[in-house]
Amino acid sequence: MSKIRIATTSLAGCFGCHMSFLDMDERLVALLEHVEFNRSPFTDIKHCGPCDIGLIEGGVCNADNVHVLREFRDNCKILIAVGACAINGGVPAMRNHFSLRECLEEAYVNGVGVENPQIPNDVELPLLLDKVHPIHDVVRVDYYLPGCPPSADEFLKILGDLLAGKEPSLPNNLLHYD
Amino acid sequence: MSADTKQNTITIDGQEIPFLAGQTIMDAALAAGVYIPHLCHRQGLTPHGSCKLCVVDADNRSVSACTMPAVAGQRISNNTPALNEVRKTITQMLFIEGNHICPSCEKCGDCTLQAMAYHLGMLDGHFPQFFQRRKVDASHPTIMLDRDRCILCELCVRASREVDGKNVFAIAGRGINAHLIVNSASGKLVDSDLETSDMAAHICPVGAILIKEHGYEVPIGQRTFDLHQVSEIGLEKTILTKARQPDE
């Protein structure tokens, strides 16, 4: 049987969800008998190819996030919002209390210890969005895996269900938002 | 069964439950140990009817169990998949309307709204987030107000008015602009009579009214809803005691 293809990415995330994924420790070995990774911080693949499952960590905070997220949606049969940020914007969405200009000026102009104050404007840099958004504001999402981060057990449960061809479900004792 | 006993019972999900004259469906259910989900109801305070979590079907009409009087012979559906789905939707609406960022909230694990969402199996907010900008009031030396998390349950309003006798809080504004205000000339908490020992300072079911310098004192695994389900009857007392004496 061919392996299930999984792609993962971190948008406005902290990589904590990826670390939590790796927290499944030696159970990863058994999992890798059934899955292979496409585009992911774990691999060197630059663009997402056709995949069965896409795991998205982090909210959407800049233009590049939007492009990556759309690439994943176009290529993944099942897209899963992983963690609080992807689900509701998470802690980064606390910047939505302020205007983008206020945030940038605080960091790059008025911040403590800033030398040669200026807001970075090189075309290489993706522009920040006005607000941080959950990923379901941009693309359709198939499943949600809550937690900040979700535990390794949650990853195993949802992937296990999908590998078994079942509708994923989280038992109450695995459900948490923190 | 005699006609007498039948006059004094209602049926919830097929279970016969006795009630006293004047009791609401919620009163009778709680007294009988039957859980009806609720956020704005608290025994001893005037029912409010704002959260709508306690919606039940009584004789095929949707009613709020906390305000609807029990009537002999009433047939009520409560714990059904359809009603719990409605309740989940209401809980999602509460989450997306405020800024409920649980990972950075001091009330996480001790929050009734969060526990309700767990109870109902809520995985996401479903609706677009409102991302409202709301004011924090940190003027009081020992108590603070984070309106981002307020669900307008009015428990603090009622506790202050009916138990503490101080009338510190009120809800002002219409529609989506409704928000918690402080009844002082300046509108600031510091200019109110609110004290740390008041019921109103502890009754908040979410992280909107907080005692300063008492966050993150309980280890993960030992917080209220790490140990309890929101559906346990009589949990309010445990929560209130814990809020007053976080070390115990």
Q: Give a yes or no: residue B73 inside a domain.
A: yes
Q: Give a yes or no: residue B43 inside a domain.
A: yes
Torsion of CA B194, B136, A178, B219, to 10 degrees: -40
Yes or no, beta carbons of A177 and B96 under 8 Å apart: no
Instruction: Tell me: pLDDT of B240 over 80.
Output: no
Q: What is the model's pLDDT at position B1? A: 46
A20/chain B closest Cα distance in angstroms: 15
SS3 B89: helix
Domains and CATH numbers, chain A: 4-92+131-166 (3.40.50.700)
Q: Give a yes or no: residue B228 inside a domain.
A: no
Query: Which of the four pLDDT bands, split at 50, 70 and 90, describes residue B245?
Result: low
Residue A76 tokens read as: 């993944």
User: Are residues B71 and B95 located together in one domain of the fold?
Assistant: no
Yes or no, beta carbons of A137 and B128 under 8 Å apart: yes
B 144-203 → A contacts, CB under 8 A: none
User: Are residues B30 and B127 located together in one domain of the fold?
Assistant: no
Distance CA A173, CA A163 (A): 21
Which CATH number covers residue B51?
3.10.20.740
User: Are residues B58 and B106 located together in one domain of the fold?
Assistant: no
Q: Give a yes or no: residue B248 inside a domain.
A: no
User: Are residues B119 and B98 located together in one domain of the fold?
Assistant: yes
Pairing label, strands A76-82, A143-145 = parallel
Give B86-124 pLDDT, tens digit per residue.
999 999 999 999 999 999 999 999 999 999 999 999 999
> Higher model confidence: residue B236 or residue B242?
B236
Contacts of B58 (CB under 8 A, 6+ apart): B25, B68, B74, B75, B76
Q: What is the model's pLDDT at position B241? A: 73
Q: Give a yes or no: residue B49 inside a domain.
A: yes
Domain limit, last residue, from B55, B79, B103: B79
A155/chain B closest Cα distance in angstroms: 14
User: Are residues B107 and B48 located together in one domain of the fold?
Assistant: no
Yes or no, beta carbons of A93 and B124 under 8 Å apart: no
Yes or no, beta carbons of B103 and A97 under 8 Å apart: no
Distance CA A103, CA A21 (A): 31
Contacts of B24 (CB under 8 A, 6+ apart): B47, B65, B66, B67, B68, B69, B70
Q: Give a yes or no: residue B237 inside a domain.
A: no
Q: Is A56 on the interface with B (CB under 8 A)?
A: no
Give A79-112 pLDDT, tens digit per residue.
999 999 999 999 999 999 999 999 999 999 999 9
Please state, in angstroms and as integers, the Cα–Cα distance from residue B217 to each residue in A40, B2, B203, following that order. 38, 55, 18
Q: Give, in degrees to the nearest 5, the angle at Cα B129 between A58 and B207.
A: 90
User: Are residues B101 and B145 located together in one domain of the fold?
Assistant: yes
Closest CA in chain A for residue B95: A88
Give A50-82 pLDDT, tens digit per residue.
999 999 999 999 999 999 999 999 999 999 999
Q: Give a yes or no: residue B95 inside a domain.
A: yes
Q: Is B99 on the interface with A (CB under 8 A)?
A: yes
DSSP code string of B54-74: TEEEETTEEEETTTSBP-TT-
Which residues, in sequence order, are bridge partners of residue B6?
none
Please state, in angstroms and as integers, the Cα–Cα distance from residue A108 to each residue in A14, A96, A152, B230, following that order. 21, 18, 37, 46
Closest CA in chain A for residue B227: A173
User: Are residues B89 and B206 located together in one domain of the fold?
Assistant: yes
Domain count, chain B: 2
* Interface-testing mutation among A80, A175, A177, with chain B (most B C-beta atoms within 10 A): A177
A 116-135 → B contacts, CB under 8 A: 131, 133-134
Give A112-170 pLDDT, tens digit per residue.
999 999 999 999 999 999 999 999 999 999 999 999 999 999 999 999 999 999 999 99
Q: Give a yes or no: residue B56 inside a domain.
A: yes
SS3 A40: coil
Residue linked to tokens 């009778």: B28
Contacts of B99 in chain A (CB under 8 A): 93-94, 96-97
Contacts of A170 in chain B (CB under 8 A): 121, 123
Q: What residue numbers bound the domain in which B62 lies?
A: 3-79
User: Are residues B200 and B154 located together in one domain of the fold?
Assistant: yes
